[in-house]
Amino acid sequence: MKLEDRRRDDIDGIRGIAILGVFLFHLFPKEVPGGFLGVDVFFVLSGYLITRHIKGREMNSLRDILLFYRRRLTRIWPSLLAMLLSFSPLLIFYGEDRRQAILRSMFYSLLAVSNVFFGLHSSYFDQEARLKPFLHTWSLSVEIQFYLLLPIIMIAFKHTRNEKLLCILLIIASFLACYLKLTEFPAYYNTFLRLSEFFCGSLVHFISLRPQSGLKRSVPSTLSFFGLLWFFLFFSHNSTWHVPGLGCAFPCIFTCVIIKSPDSFVNNYVLSSTFLQRVGRISYSLYLYHWPIIVYYQHILDKSKTMLFDAFVIVVLAYSLSYLSYTHIENKERRAIQGLSKLCRNYIYVLIFIAPSFIFMYFIFLRPTSLPPASTSVLEKELMIYNKQNIVRQSFESVPAWKTKCGAVQSNRTALIVGDSFAGSLVSFADYIGRKFDIVFHIWTISACSPLLNKDRVWLHAETPHWIDVVTSCGSIMQSWFHRVNESKYDIVFITGKWKLYTFREPSESPKIKMIRLFKDSKEGNVTKRALLTFGTSKPNIEAERQFFERSLKNALMHVSGITNRVVLVSDIPALGPSVLSCEKYLSFKKRLQSLKYSLGTLVEQKIKKTCTEQMSSKLSENLKYTNNITKNISSQIGIINIQPTEFLCKKSSRRERFLCNLRVGTRIIYKDSYHLNDAGGILLAMRWIKHGKSTLL
């Protein structure tokens, strides 16, 4: 039997290493920061195996292509459908808005376009990813899209004499599109920018190696050994630099080397080991189940960090469900392709497997609730109007960065909101004000990047995984919006930011933080890719850094106020801690059980009462007090408008130096997480700002 025709245990071993890398990255993102590159390894393997499959069969007609599609989809969809519906009952622990978003992601996953859905709404590396149980289906969508595309390419170029050259040209085209940024769609989720990885695998199939003798036989073993070594090096290295692109080139290359060295020591004894084979054979099911288990486990049990015991429980659950899925759905589905009757019988097995989920979903999500509708309040009505508009964020650059248009449909008055992720949480705020005052709003936001012009540093969270991308993109994007202010002549410019994150915190307030100093090119004055990373292990000069922040903010505001008619500076919001998500979970759970006329236990009621008070007692940190005072004083000096969210979301408590800050209004939570308002919170802030007469200057 030819090498290309027989089943290879070492490829299962590569799958095993890839899925272990992804699994460990999701469990311990700090300890295994490069584990997500296992997905790129899967793409290379898929390109190789599918190309081998297609070339081993004659595809000359539409019928052949459709038959190929049927085989691929019956391989992927039953397990995917079973996974989605198996976890759907746990949506009871999410609030209404987040639950609707998750249900939409399930729908797009089945349509094989979830990469588009997630690409338009989030980043793979942001903190909110931990709240999306089906985020990992983006790679399945990319893979299915490749399956749909490859047979067409093969038939279109079936008469070409040099298939290797065709693969090389397609790889180069994909790389160039990535680096030239020919598309505004996020690179990480972009199928076209991932084609280089798939066609690397295709290229391996077309490369034929002559049998070697003597010393030359040791070359494949040596290359395989170094390929395996590079796998572990990249998995332990923070390789978010240019992914997709150069950051994943080396893992892809060494995957190709290992594939092309089937008789090496590494392939025969390491990759073909029993452990890696078993893990590799259930890798698809393990990939499907591991991420939802992690998300739901951490969300339901309020786990912000995975400890060893938590990891043990998650691994046991993931392996158990994956093994059941592999043996009862995935593996049977493969054998059932040979006969239609078996195929139908196995679909019945799938329906039996997921029937309880269907029944549970009906009673929990579709059965009319006995509670009075919450849409009677002004806030709820405005939220319904906002949600009907389906405002879409457009992404640009290589990091979580967005451009959004909202507010009035058409108007001579225009406004711009610019800032970090806090600006991104004010879309509903801008939309409400825009509709009330007939203003068209544009929003530019980039995560972890403050809108301070002429700065030479960026402050990032300790857990920011894409810091190098932020460093290289922050300066250029901020300059872009400044030039846009010059060219577009906006009537109003809102400048926002989580200001307290960009000044030194007191040592007691924060763990280690990263400081990125941006070096300027002496000739062009542009920010280069050189960066110095240091950690806040020593006590910083807090006063000096605060003075620097004050100067930078004042310079930025003076620049903008000299160009536009109105400038609005939005100060910080109070951070309410992890109880935000806990409250959302318990309130949703209580509401659903009450709709089924079930009573809650005493412990659950006590938990809700403890975490879900409408107004939480909060002591504003010294850093928040400082930034609020600074923004207020600078606004007064320059003569611009200042919005202090603490004035509208909090009130002075009877207890000394404490405030009562809104966590929710009725059953509607107004925070997306501890640091950002959600859509309801943005509308509430706008309504209260207008109610207090603060918006008359607009």
Residue 523: band (very low, low, confident or very high) from pLDDT cuts 50, 70, 90: very low
Residue 19 has pLDDT above 90, yes or no: yes
Closest by Cα among 205, 159, 203 to 2? 205
Q: Average pLDDT in the 188-204 region?
A: 84
Q: Please report which confidence band the pLDDT of residue 369 belongs to, taking 50, 70 and 90 as the band edges.
A: very low
User: What percent of the chain stands above pLDDT 70?
Assistant: 63
What's the confidence (pLDDT) of residue 622?
73
Q: What is the pLDDT of residues 141-165, one digit of tens each?
A: 999 999 988 888 887 777 777 888 8
pLDDT digits (tens, 9 = 90+) for 228-269: 776 666 666 655 555 566 667 777 887 888 888 777 777 777
pLDDT score at 158: 74
Structure tokens at 636: 């007064």
Element (H, E) at 404: strand 401-407
Instruction: Please compute, for residue 484, the number of CA atoms within 13 A of its CA located in the half-sphere on the CB side.
Output: 17
How confident is the model at residue 518, as a pLDDT?
37
The pLDDT assigned to 492 comes to 92
pTM for the full predicted model: 0.65
Residue 168: is it exposed, middle or buried by C-beta count within 10 angstroms (0-12/13-18/19+)?
middle
**Interatomic CA distance for residues 363 and 91, integer angstroms:** 13
- CB proximity list for 118: less than 8 A, separation 6 or greater: 105, 124, 132, 135, 138, 189
**Cα separation, 304 vs 695, whole angstroms:** 39
Assess whether pLDDT exceeds 70 at residue 311: yes
The chain-wide mean pLDDT, for the chain, equals 74
Residue 644: the pLDDT is: 92
Per-residue pLDDT, averaged over 601-613, amounts to 59
Q: Which of residues 254 and 507 earns the better pLDDT score? A: 254
CATH code for 378-691?
Answer: 3.40.50.1110
User: What is the structure's pLDDT at 8?
Assistant: 78
Decide if pLDDT at 640 tops 60: yes
Q: Is the dihedral of CA 336, 339, 344, 348 positive or negative?
A: negative
Lowest mean pLDDT among 254-268, 444-458, 475-489, 603-617: 603-617
More confident residue, 261 or 368: 261
Q: How far is CA 204 from the centre of its chain?
A: 31
- Name, of 16-30, 225-239, 264-278, the range with top average pLDDT: 16-30
Q: Where are the domains of the chain?
A: 9-207+215-350, 378-691
How many CB atoms lie under 10 A from the CB of residue 101?
Answer: 15
Q: Does the pLDDT value for residue 303 go beyond 60? A: yes
* pLDDT band of 503, cuts 50, 70, 90: low
Which SS3 state, helix, strand or coil, does residue 302 take? coil
User: What is the layout of strands, in order, in the sheet containing 527-535?
Assistant: 457-460, 514-520, 527-535
pLDDT in tens, 532-585: 333 334 445 667 777 878 888 888 888 888 888 889 999 988 776 655 666 766
User: Mean per-residue pLDDT for 421-442?
Assistant: 90
Closest by Cα among 3, 50, 17, 5 to 272: 17
DSSP 599-659: PPPHHHHHHHHHH--SEEEE---HHHHHHHHHHHHHHHHHT-EEE-HHHHHEEE-SSTT-E
pLDDT surpasses 60 at 512: no
278-316 burial code (b ≥16 CB/10 A, e <16): ebbbbbbbbbbbbbbbbbbbbbeeeeeebeeebbeebee
Assigned token pair, 69:
């599609």
